[in-house]
């Protein structure tokens, strides 16, 4: 009776004498895989979010994204196409080892018109040195001023704590912020619930009505978690991006692996519900899964059938591949300076956003898609 419930791909794999996990493995190549095996399950909305939100709303400390974009306290320098993080004697995001930038998205992902609540700019995720906390930066496109905010997990009706994940990629979609959690799936944060807190080193409640967040002024709470539930194999959620050019919109998630011949280099896509900004269904299978045989893949983007995939090469320049399933990937060798990461797209001007993570070489890039060889 269990056999009736097994998927065809599983039966074929068993019939061929291979183990179940091999059906989802790349084995050093770039085969297409069965998306049905790649499942994310909604763990339900966080019940502490509403009571916490009420505390901040009642205190007049519930703010919106326009407020945060307009409240920049640091500034990017450099050119529009290569923005450099603030680096002064007092404050140095360009060189610090305490925080490392990882994910990129923008108001162009958030909404079809490219702006969100009147704001226009980027959001960037950073993990800290021990992966014990995540911050997200709002950069205003016009002024280049920016403000960091802390991601938090509502752990009680009146308290929250830091979010201990790597945050290798992010997507801002409507009022939700999707953040990859390496082996555990994707966590979603609520951009319609940004709370202003007081100063203080701790993260969470200080006393009744008083909160702090490691001296950050704003926090963004987790609302839900899409958990990776397959037990027969793992998937490394290294980065994520959004494709608004297809209907329904899709999330693309991919995995970093050092060695393409020995490990898996998969990209998978999930369909989004455009009205609710959730995945389609409570247990959602990928609608596309493929191996790409590209090692050190740090970011990716799909626009219909065309994929763009970034690769880091240690201290050497990073590469940007373009690829269509079934064809050999085209390498734009050294397209990025060292340590490229996550990617994001802006349909308004047909540009690809990227960023680099290495201390002393941290930038946010804007490149014309037409400059990428396909
Ligand atoms: C955001 O909140 C501010 C008040 O803090 C308000 O003036 C502004 O209109 C709000 N923006 C939007 C788009 O709702």
- What's the 348 CA to ligand 1 centre distance in angstroms? 24
117 lines ligand 1 (CB under 6 A): yes
Token pair for 220:
């963004």
- What's the 137 CA to ligand 1 centre distance in angstroms? 19
Residue among 56, 62, 64 whose CB has most ligand 1 atoms within 8 A, to mutate:
64
The answer, yes or no, to whether residue 352 has pLDDT greater than 50, is: yes
- Give 99's pLDDT tier (boundaries 50, 70, 90): very high
Percent of the chain past pLDDT 90, that is, above it, reads 91
Please choose, from the candidates 226, 269, 234, 235, the residue with its C-alpha nearest in 3D space to the C-alpha of residue 249. 269
Pair 42, 279: CB distance under 8 Å = yes
Which residue CA neighbors atom 14 of ligand 1 most closely?
A: 117
pLDDT at 260: 78
Average pLDDT, the chain: 94
The answer, yes or no, to whether residue 124 has pLDDT greater than 50, is: yes
71 lines ligand 1 (CB under 6 A): no
155 lines ligand 1 (CB under 6 A): no
Tell me the CATH class for 2-13+27-371: mainly beta
Token pair for 302:
């799909």
The answer, yes or no, to whether residue 15 has pLDDT greater than 60, is: no
**43-54: pLDDT as tens digits:** 999 999 999 999
- What's the 118 CA to ligand 1 centre distance in angstroms? 9
Distance from C-alpha of 222 to C-alpha of 133, rounded to nearest angstrom: 13
- What's the 7 CA to ligand 1 centre distance in angstroms? 50
- What's the 119 CA to ligand 1 centre distance in angstroms? 11
**257-305: pLDDT as tens digits:** 998 777 899 999 999 999 999 999 899 999 999 999 999 999 999 999 9
- What's the 63 CA to ligand 1 centre distance in angstroms? 8
**Could you tell me the pTM of the whole model?**
0.94
* Location of structure tokens 């308004």: 348
- Give 327's pLDDT tier (boundaries 50, 70, 90): very high
The radius of gyration of the chain's CA atoms, rounded to the nearest angstrom, is 20
Distance from C-alpha of 127 to C-alpha of 135, rounded to nearest angstrom: 7
pLDDT at 3: 37
> Could you tell me the CA-to-CA distances from 222 to 48, 105, 117, 162, 186 in Å, in that order?
10, 17, 21, 10, 11
pLDDT at 262: 78
Handedness of CA 12, 17, 23, 29 (dihedral sign): negative
57 lines ligand 1 (CB under 6 A): no
What number of H helices and E strands is found in the chain? Answer: 5, 31
Q: Which atom of ligand 1 is nearest to the CA of 65?
A: 1
**176-215: pLDDT as tens digits:** 999 999 999 999 999 999 999 999 999 999 999 999 999 9
The answer, yes or no, to whether residue 9 has pLDDT greater than 70, is: no
The answer, yes or no, to whether residue 20 has pLDDT greater than 60, is: no
Q: What are the domain boundaries of the chain?
A: 2-13+27-371
Residues in the chain: 374
**54-65: pLDDT as tens digits:** 999 999 999 999
Q: For residues 236-249, b (16+ Cβ closer than 10 Å) or e, as one string?
A: bbbbbbbbbeeeeb
Please choose, from the candidates 264, 229, 175, the residue with its C-alpha nearest in 3D space to the C-alpha of residue 36. 229
CB burial class (10 A; 0-12, 13-18, 19+) of residue 250?
buried
The answer, yes or no, to whether residue 340 has pLDDT greater than 80, is: yes
Q: Which atom of ligand 1 is nearest to the CA of 119?
A: 13
- What's the 286 CA to ligand 1 centre distance in angstroms? 37
Pairing of strands 203-207, 170-173: unpaired
Which residue CA neighbors atom 2 of ligand 1 most closely?
A: 64
More confident residue, 15 or 215: 215
pLDDT at 263: 84
The answer, yes or no, to whether residue 19 has pLDDT greater than 70, is: no
pLDDT at 239: 98
CB burial class (10 A; 0-12, 13-18, 19+) of residue 97?
exposed
Handedness of CA 50, 219, 344, 366 (dihedral sign): positive
Q: For residues 131-170, b (16+ Cβ closer than 10 Å) or e, as one string?
A: eebbbbbbbbbeebbbbbbbbbbbeeebbbbbbebbbbbb
């Amino acid at each position: 009776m269990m056999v009736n419930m097994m998927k065809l791909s599983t039966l074929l794999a068993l019939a061929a004498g291979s183990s179940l996990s091999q059906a989802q493995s790349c084995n050093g190549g770039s085969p297409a895989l069965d998306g049905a095996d790649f499942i994310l399950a909604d763990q339900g909305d966080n019940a502490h979010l509403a009571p916490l939100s009420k505390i901040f709303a009642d205190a007049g400390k519930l703010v919106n994204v326009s407020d945060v974009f307009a409240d920049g306290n640091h500034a990017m320098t450099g050119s529009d196409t290569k923005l450099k993080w603030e680096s002064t004697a007092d404050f140095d995001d360009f060189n610090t080892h305490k925080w490392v930038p990882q994910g990129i998205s923008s108001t162009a992902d958030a909404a079809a018109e490219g702006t969100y609540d009147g704001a226009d700019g980027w959001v960037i995720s950073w993990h800290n040195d021990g992966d014990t906390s995540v911050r997200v930066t709002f950069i205003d496109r016009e002024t280049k001023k920016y403000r960091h905010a802390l991601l938090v997990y509502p752990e009680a009706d009146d308290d929250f704590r830091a979010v201990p994940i790597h945050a290798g990629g992010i997507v801002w979609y409507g009022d939700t912020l999707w953040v990859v959690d390496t082996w555990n799936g994707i966590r979603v944060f609520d951009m319609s619930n940004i709370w202003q807190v007081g100063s203080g080193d701790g993260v969470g409640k200080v006393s009744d009505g008083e909160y702090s967040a490691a001296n950050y002024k704003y926090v963004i709470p987790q609302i839900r978690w899409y958990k990776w539930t397959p037990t027969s194999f793992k998937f490394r959620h290294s980065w994520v991006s959004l494709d608004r050019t297809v209907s329904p919109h899709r999330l693309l998630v991919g995995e970093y692996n050092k060695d393409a011949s020995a490990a898996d280099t998969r990209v998978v896509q999930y369909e989004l519900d455009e009205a609710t900004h959730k995945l389609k269904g409570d247990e959602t299978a990928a609608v596309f899964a493929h191996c790409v045989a590209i090692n050190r893949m740090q970011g990716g983007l799909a626009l219909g059938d065309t994929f763009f995939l970034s690769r880091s090469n240690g201290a050497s320049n990073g590469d940007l591949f373009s690829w269509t399933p079934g064809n050999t990937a085209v390498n734009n060798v050294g397209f990025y300076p060292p340590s490229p990461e996550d990617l994001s797209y802006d349909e308004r001007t047909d540009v690809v956003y990227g960023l680099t993570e290495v201390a002393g070489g941290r930038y946010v890039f804007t490149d014309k898609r037409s400059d990428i060889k396909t």
